[in-house]
């Protein structure tokens, strides 16, 4: 069984997965508005959540590299507090992109866009996403979108130009779970079909099985790709 070239997720994938939760996106927006950082107490007040919930979200975000923590010198006697900062302004753009996708899908569903139309839009976009041809281009493009692809192709299938991927993260989880959100999966299927067609002559998406977006684990099979080396 082959794996993707690197076991380390590309930059931004872990951040996208962490920001799939709406409360974490809200925390990121608040931190982005306060360059000096915010304490747990300040975030709790702004978010309207229990402090323990805020701490739990910050822990996930810190592990993904979305936020960093620094000690805040105490005023007078007492222990120094901790202030949290947004680690990279790029995460705000990532969160905004996900929110834009949710709104666009909601709008398409509201105007009655048919499944075939949604998939065609996805195909056209997917064909523009590859930065390299072949199976590596598909895996790299999906990683860049935040899906954390994990290759599960057998050696014989790889030699025959097939590619099996399990997607270990759903960066658009909240959009999928919103009313009409399954349209996101239709768009995603179209995107992967477009990637396959752009990956090489005869490339195609032959199977796509959506899973629970909270647990992730959607699977996709591609065929007609250049055989894996070796």
Q: What is the 3-state secondary structure (H, E, C) of 72-114?
A: ECCCCCCCCEEEEEECCCHHHHHHHHHHHHHHHHHHHHHCCCC
Q: Are 225 and 184 in contact (CB under 8 A)?
A: no
Full set of structural domains in the chain with CATH: 17-88 (1.10.10.10), 92-223 (3.30.1380.20)
- Other residues' Cβ atoms within 10 Å of the Cβ of residue 160: 14
Q: What pLDDT sits at residue 17? A: 66
Can you give the pTM of this predicted structure?
Answer: 0.61
Helices 134-145, 182-199: crossing angle, 10 deg rounding: 150
Taking only the tens of pLDDT, the chain with its 230 residues reads: 444 444 444 445 566 667 767 788 889 888 888 888 999 999 999 999 999 999 999 999 888 888 999 887 766 666 778 999 987 665 555 555 566 666 666 677 677 778 888 889 889 988 888 888 899 999 988 887 778 899 999 999 999 999 999 999 887 777 777 777 788 888 889 999 999 999 988 999 999 999 988 888 999 999 999 988 76
pLDDT digits (tens, 9 = 90+) for 127-180: 888 888 899 999 988 887 778 899 999 999 999 999 999 999 887 777 777 777
Q: How far apart are alpha carbons 204 and 222 in whole angstroms?
A: 6
Q: How many CB atoms lie within 10 A of CB 124?
A: 12
Task: Report the candidate in 34, 5, 28 with the shortest Cα–Cα distance to residue 15.
Answer: 28
CA distance 32 to 61: 14
Contacts of 3 (CB under 8 A, 6+ apart): 150, 151
The CA radius of gyration of the chain, in Å to the nearest whole number, is 20
Interatomic CA distance for residues 58 and 22, integer angstroms: 13
CA distance 46 to 58: 14
């Amino acid at each position: 069984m082959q794996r993707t070239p690197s076991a380390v997720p590309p930059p931004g994938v872990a951040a996208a997965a962490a920001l799939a939760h709406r409360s974490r996106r809200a925390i990121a927006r608040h931190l982005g508005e306060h360059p000096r950082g915010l304490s747990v107490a300040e975030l709790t007040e702004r978010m309207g959540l229990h402090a323990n919930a805020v701490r739990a979200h910050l822990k996930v975000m810190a592990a993904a590299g979305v936020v960093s923590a620094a000690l805040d010198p105490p005023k007078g006697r007492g222990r120094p507090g901790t202030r949290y900062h947004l680690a990279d302004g790029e995460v705000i753009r990532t969160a905004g992109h996900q929110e834009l996708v949710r709104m666009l899908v909601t709008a398409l569903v509201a105007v009655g866009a048919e499944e075939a139309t949604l998939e065609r839009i996805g195909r056209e976009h997917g064909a523009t996403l590859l930065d390299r041809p072949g199976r590596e281009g598909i895996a790299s493009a999906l990683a860049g979108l935040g899906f954390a692809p994990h290759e599960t192709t057998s050696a014989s299938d790889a030699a025959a130009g097939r590619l099996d991927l399990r997607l270990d993260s759903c960066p658009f989880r909240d959009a999928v779970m919103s009313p009409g959100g399954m349209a996101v999966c239709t768009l995603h299927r179209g995107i992967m079909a477009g990637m396959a067609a752009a990956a090489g002559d005869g490339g195609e998406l032959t199977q796509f099985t959506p899973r629970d977006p909270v647990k992730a684990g959607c699977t996709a099979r591609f065929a007609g790709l250049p055989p894996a080396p070796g």
